[in-house]
Amino acid sequence: MTRRHRHFLDASGLVCPLPVLRARKVLQAMPEGAMLCVTVTDAKSPQDFEAFCNEAGHRLESVTPMTDVIEIVILRGPTPAEEKEIPL
């Protein structure tokens, strides 16, 4: 079994859309299949991250509410293929 790369982002205290924007930036620098654990306090963040992951091709692995924070775990999806130029 291969060991998965793990990255952590503390987005506590930030409100929509900042947690998703910060996570997006971190995810861009991560390899495919790596795991990002995001800690947030904004109650709307789980819905924002679900929509973001569906659109960007990442996998929302888990959303775990805790006492003061919510932990969101994302698996980095494949890098989208560059758009090919259509010949005229």
Q: At what angle do helices 18-28 and 45-56 cross, to 10 degrees?
A: 40
Positions marked active-site: 16
